[in-house]
Structure 1
């Protein structure tokens, strides 16, 4: 070991492992020459300092003075300085350079060198080899040189990889941003996750570089993929605001983690991909030249496939924006028909603006909310849209329109455009068309059209012409327009409560499975066939001679025949959900209105009101009772329908009842002005008053109910079994409110079905009021008198050898009896206005004239 503390001394070792040191504060020159030498300079407080040369061997060189110059020489040397302001050069070999202070010049030289400094303001040049530099203090300039270098800065540093696949990392905090320059080849430039310094600069330069800002608190980063070459670069920022990412040439990828506001993405030339999310506003992204792909989540953003100021080189871009209030554009206003790109724009959100500009573009609106505006521009464009979107009329090309659950969204098309999906399509022109869509509606011109829609929830208007319209469900509005249209609704839901069908002028044919909404057939001789009509629906057949088979009808339904000779027939009445009656109105004309004889009516069915209006009408009620028939002006025929079955039996003088029998209220018949006919066809429209002995199985309390409601017993001599009593199973038979004999009103009975002859001699018409006889009998009675009274007023029991018709002016009850059953008399009808009858109003139904009455 050699020590020297004099000024400018020179110590030279030999080929062995020498230890050369300068002590004190003097300077000198130490030369190791050969071997693994240890060279130590003295502590020197000012420049110039000592010079240390390791030369060959794996030397350890420790510099303690300011201004020292240290050369490691060949092989892998370790160089250390603790005072700063020194030049540390590894020269050849895998050298390690350490600096405790700052203001160093560190030269790696040839080989894979390592340099570490704690304090600031250092210059590192790696030269050749895979060098590594760590600057802890910042304000460093590190140049990797040739080789795959790893350079780390810590604030206000410049890290340049130069040639090779370099890794440059900034860990800057505070206001000390770093600048990272990749240089040639594929470099990795990183602002680490612990960094929060704003304004870092990352420049990939040549090669396929990766530029990444991982620190989420970093703002205003500048990332540029390359300069003049066409490298395929990848640029990424994790968070922060006001960043600028520019891929420049090459097929670059620009990605955002979850950034804030004011971020710009510029793809540059090449096929670039721009992705990520911005939670703030004012994101601007442009693919620029090339066929670019943008997929970004943001609101209030501008997403351009090409540069908004470009004049040429427009690409076929894909632009997808997730969020609201964004602008998505394929090209720009400078793009002409010949050079515009064929772009694909997809907006997921609401209130977005999609601009295809020139080219055959595809514009798609997805997600929820709607309110997007799609403008394809020049070219043959494809629009896929949703409810609430806006598509201005596009006549610059032959376009395709696809509605995605946009049932009530109107879209206007040219005659040559194509359509599908679900929307309200308005097709210009009067050509004959065949249109089949999933849902929504179609509005066409006056051609002969065939329109098929599964779920017609928008507006459908077939316009003029003899059109054919087929639907599964209608919940929107359908208009047949002028012409003889055929409309079919075949689905189980049919016409829903929100649906409305208008046939328009013409002889239309409407077939609907279920009607819950509104049907207006319009003017013309229409044919309507419905399976069921739900409660509270409305049907108008319109003016004309209409034929309507209306199916089973619920309560609260209103059916209007309007003007014309209409035939409106119900096949049944549904269960009554409330007290609102179903109304069947004929309007002006000779109408046939009512419920079919074959209809099955339950015990709790809807009330029925038939109002024929002006004309000679035929009205037919349902089985049993409970209807209100209004003839109106004209010579009308009113048939209340078949009444209750008489389930009471007088067996050997003993009264018995079927407990399953149901008795209901009678019909209310009002003929109105004119000579009206009230028709009764058989004994099920009447009710016999039975006299006999109260038998086993009958509740014997006076007025008690037997079996079901309406079956009552009144006792004559007692309330026990064996007592004499009377019973009438249909106390509530039909009531005529305005019978006027002098006006021509008559009651017609079918004497064959009733089982009582009124057409021969010996038939008496007896008028009485309470217990006072007002008429006379001319036949010999079989009992002790022509009539007797039951225990309760208004129910006489009489019998004659031929027959008796009795009228009680006090109650308005009209009865008939037969000599074949001396203990009974049947109540036919009640004339509630109690007219002053002097002769029988009952006429036999002509047996040989089937046209005299119209049953259905």
Structure 2
């Protein structure tokens, strides 16, 4: 046993059911007919027997009594019709079973046994029509719902058509149903199965839930709508399609002016011919207007519009996704649409909007205008003209000989044809060319980058350019301006031209010419070569490998952490090491050598050089000339040969002067010890409390600030004559300066180390161990007698008049 329900409203409704072997116990119910005629079509290939369909009301019953019998051989129907009065509380029965109660006004009908106004035709007509024909039953004016229930589904099917004339809602059952509407606006829902729905006249609505459902409409029968939960193509003469549910389904129109509305899924809406209106809902949708002037609204989601007419309209609201138009005609993007792709091979054009657009040309000659925004413009095939407008745009003309204008903003151009041309005006931003062919930069372009692996030639303009090579063996000319030339891989040739240029050949064995100006070269291959002419500026090398400076280069800096060897040339060089253990040769000229990190070896060569080993324990050779050494590590070592000039040490740590060094200056504020050698030294302290040893020789000592102590260990450290004695230039007792002579034996005739006795300005008495001071010529002379002969055996000259006392000495 199965149940099929039909729900109807106003309209003309048709439903067809193929039902197996309708038996005596089966029931058919009509409920809620409005000015309706109910048609019961009974068919089959054998004799079927049906219970009587009865419509009852208070005191009045319309009975088709007995059994209706259809003989297949004769096509005859037998039965009796009778009626009685009353019309309140209508019941509809099949046999003894009450199928529905109609508590509505009911107009009694006088049913006769032969000819009756309630039966369309006479009994003979009924008999004639039954075999594949129609039995017509007039039920009157009701306002309810029709239901077809209680059908036994088995064996051979019989066809039952329910026809309701005046409009309504019909719902089919589980089978393959046929629903027919009337002259009104009907709603037909076939339910499950592959149903056929015929709306007839009026503005009908069809509910489609199966790809096998069929909708039939004739021309001029109203403005009809299909509501479909499956992918659907509108049949002829149906105007509207609404997709329901949330599934990713598609909708296709016909030759009429259609309205197609999507659902919340990802839909493909195709208007076909006609001036269509396509409206997507949520989801990432594809809207195809088809021929005609169409209006398309994508709604939320990343939508794609297919445009084939200049009259097509695309409508998008703000913040409704990243949307794309695919156009085969000249087209201007509407507001809130981001992308356009030209299709076909025609010479068509397109304009962007104020958004950040991506615009793709086709195989023809396109004119593409980005308008405002940061746009991506691709010409693709053909000889194209691209104009970025305002904004930071990306322009790629494609394979033809293209013309590209970036406009205001920082634009990027792609060059892939030697006929490509770039147009930029002054003050329109920082612009870049990316080229896979040889190219000369147009005016007002700042940067060019070569792509691919071909051996290309790149030429700059009169501005300050940055030009980068590719994987091939490139030749790059900076021309005028302060240029940065970068060869990348390959054995490149770089020529800076005029201006202060930076040249980096990259990983190959490169040749670099800086030209005039203060140029900077980067060396990363031992095969790199630099060419500089005299008087072409102050030029520098930055090297990560061993390198000898070419002629006319002034400076070199080592990079990385490798243990490198750097050699200067014959002019005045500055050479800086890296963090490794470097060996640096200044060679000729007055050079500045800096070891930086690591334990470095610095050799100044000839000339007056400055050598600073940096933070490691460094070895420094100044060579010939008046050299200066910087000591900052107690492990630093200086090597000087005799007669190699007047050499100076600047030390921030305690240090003993090596042989053949004449001068030492302490730096910083630490309490340091400075020890001279046997030559005539000049030793100067710092702001700390220093211990200063002049040693042998005629030394000039200065403590500077701080409480300094000048130490004399033997009488040979400071002689008595002017040419042999030491001079202390800035002795100041008030700052705590003292003279330490405690290591000198005051009485050579006595055993042990005897102390001196200070006698002020008195003359020696002939007793050994006396220490006196003597004023004269603005200086103070300190004298000591160690053998008691009344004459000084050593002396120290203090510049200035100093009244000394016992506290001025360490004895």
**Superposed CA offset, 1:685-723 (max 9, x none):** 53699xxxxxxxxxxxxxxxxxxxxx9xxxxxxxxxxxx
**Superposed CA offset, 1:319-363 (max 9, x none):** x999xxxxx983333x13xx55457999999xx998364323379
1:663 — aligned with what? 654
Is 1:381 the counterpart of 2:427? The answer is no
What is the alpha-carbon distance in structure 1 between the residues aligned to residue 334 and residue 232 of structure 2? 29
1:584 — aligned with what? 602
**1:789-828 to 2 correspondences below 5 Å:** 820=783
**1:469-618 to 2 correspondences below 5 Å:** 469=501, 481-486=513-518, 504-506=531-533, 507=535, 522-527=549-554, 542-548=568-574, 556=580, 558=582, 560=584, 564-568=588-592, 580-586=598-604, 590-595=606-611, 605-612=615-622, 616-618=624-626
Distance change >3 Å, CA 466–CA 450, structure 1 → 2: same
Distance change >3 Å, CA 357–CA 233, structure 1 → 2: farther
Q: Given that residues 546 and 566 in structure 2 are in contact (C-alpha distance below 8 angstroms), is that contact kept between their aligned partners in structure 1?
A: yes
What is the alpha-carbon distance in structure 1 between the residues aligned to residue 169 and residue 753 of structure 2? 136
Displacement of 1:132 after TM fit? 2.9
- Residue 679 of structure 1: which of 662, 680, 701 is its match? 662
- Residue 331 of structure 1: which of 330, 341, 361 is its match? 361
- Residue 190 of structure 1: which of 243, 246, 271 is its match? 243
Displacement of 1:237 after TM fit? 9.7
Structure with higher RCO (Cα < 8 A, 6+ apart) = 2
Q: Given that residues 173 and 192 in structure 2 are in contact (C-alpha distance below 8 angstroms), is that contact kept between their aligned partners in structure 1?
A: yes
Unaligned runs of 5+ in 2: 1-59, 69-77, 97-104, 112-117, 120-125, 152-156, 317-323, 667-672, 679-688, 703-709, 711-716, 726-744, 755-767, 771-780, 788-811
Displacement of 1:621 after TM fit? 1.6
What is the alpha-carbon distance in structure 1 between the residues aligned to residue 546 and residue 182 of structure 2? 94
Is 1:231 the counterpart of 2:276? The answer is yes
Larger radius of gyration: 2
1:433 — aligned with what? 462
2:132 — aligned with what? 47
What is the alpha-carbon distance in structure 1 between the residues aligned to residue 651 and residue 368 of structure 2? 80
SS in 2 for 1:48: coil
Displacement of 1:50 after TM fit? 0.5
**1:203-218 to 2 correspondences below 5 Å:** 203=253, 205-207=255-257, 209-212=259-262
SS in 2 for 1:193: coil
What is the alpha-carbon distance in structure 2 between the residues aligned to residue 784 and residue 64 of structure 1? 145
Distance change >3 Å, CA 534–CA 784, structure 1 → 2: farther
Is 1:355 the counterpart of 2:380? The answer is yes
**Superposed CA offset, 1:637-689 (max 9, x none):** 37351579xxxxxxxxxxxxxxxxx634x4666xxxxxxx5435799853699
1:784 — aligned with what? 748
What is the alpha-carbon distance in structure 2 between the residues aligned to residue 800 and residue 502 of structure 1? 72
Unaligned runs of 5+ in 1: 26-33, 67-81, 148-161, 276-283, 296-302, 323-327, 365-369, 490-494, 645-661, 670-676, 690-710, 712-727, 735-746, 764-780, 791-798, 802-817, 825-856
2:495 — aligned with what? 463
What is the alpha-carbon distance in structure 2 between the residues aligned to residue 232 and residue 542 of structure 1? 80
Distance change >3 Å, CA 595–CA 561, structure 1 → 2: closer
Distance change >3 Å, CA 191–CA 620, structure 1 → 2: same
Distance change >3 Å, CA 179–CA 535, structure 1 → 2: closer
Q: Given that residues 698 and 723 in structure 2 are in contact (C-alpha distance below 8 angstroms), is that contact kept between their aligned partners in structure 1?
A: no
Distance change >3 Å, CA 377–CA 14, structure 1 → 2: farther
What is the alpha-carbon distance in structure 2 between the residues aligned to residue 800 and residue 377 of structure 1? 105
What is the alpha-carbon distance in structure 1 between the residues aligned to residue 751 and residue 382 of structure 2? 100
Is 1:248 the counterpart of 2:248? The answer is no
- Residue 227 of structure 2: which of 152, 163, 169 is its match? 169
Distance change >3 Å, CA 782–CA 8, structure 1 → 2: closer
What is the alpha-carbon distance in structure 2 between the residues aligned to residue 407 and residue 636 of structure 1? 57
What is the alpha-carbon distance in structure 2 between the residues aligned to residue 144 and residue 422 of structure 1? 66
2:482 — aligned with what? 450
Distance change >3 Å, CA 253–CA 678, structure 1 → 2: same
